[in-house]
Amino acid sequence: MKRIITFGTYDLLHVGHVRLLKRAAALGNHLIVGVSSDELNISKKGRAPVYSTTERMEIVRSLACVDDVFVEHSLEAKGDYILEHKADALVMGDDWEGRFDMFKDLCEVIYLPRTEGISTTYLISSISDRKAVTGGI
Ligand code: CTP
């Protein structure tokens, strides 16, 4: 049994998220996802997620490749979460390349390539830039 842990906001779930989670799940037998809290996002990204922590957790939990979800309250607690969830490997997108190497004495640390051309930030700005073509309906 190989337990994989990963972390993220997973707001406005998109194909980049799904591909990352599927590839993470394929590296082991049990995928645990730490979904960052609204408060953490406000302090980390300077904005509240569109979907609340509870909604984002429900959406991520509903994916077939995900076995377990929990709230990530603090970025500094990753080591504690790895131990608490008995993770054998930490998987992160390569936007974090090298940033979690300090956990290599707790578990394997794997960075996976991100999907090009999509992000929650991009979705929010592209939705807000859309012009109504039917007179505002
Ligand atoms: N991810 C990915 N490919 C993308 C976007 C995200 O593989 N195009 C991965 C990230 O590397 C991370 C996980 O999905 O491991 C969760 O990322 P998250 O920060 O929630 O999503 P983003 O779309 O990057 O959000 P934002 O634009 O708010 O930074």
Strand partners, 70: 34
38-86 pLDDT, tens per residue? 999 999 889 999 999 999 999 999 999 999 999 999 999 999 999 999 9
Q: Whose CA is nearest to atom 15 of ligand 1?
A: 93
18 CA from centroid of ligand 1 (Å): 10
CA-nearest of 129, 120, 106 to 16 is 120
Look up tokens 């509903």; give the residue.
Answer: 62
135 CA from centroid of ligand 1 (Å): 34
pLDDT-derived band of residue 23, with 50, 70 and 90 as boundaries?
A: very high
Q: Whose CA is nearest to atom 12 of ligand 1?
A: 93
Of ligand 1's listed atoms, the one at least distance from the Cα of 118 is 8
Here the CATH number for the domain that contains residue 88 is 3.40.50.620
Pocket test for ligand 1, best of 13, 15, 120 (most atoms within 8 A of CB): 120
What's the burial of 32, exposed, middle or buried (CB within 10 Å: 0-12/13-18/19+)?
Answer: buried
Could you tell me if 30 and 36 are in contact, meaning their C-beta atoms sit under 8 angstroms apart? no
Find the domain containing 7 and state its range: 3-134
Residue 67 DSSP label: -
Helix (H, G, I), strand (E, B), or coil: what is residue 65?
coil
Higher-pLDDT residue of 18 and 47 is: 18
Of ligand 1's listed atoms, the one at least distance from the Cα of 93 is 11
99 CA from centroid of ligand 1 (Å): 15
Q: How many domains does the chain fold into? A: 1
pTM over 0.75: yes
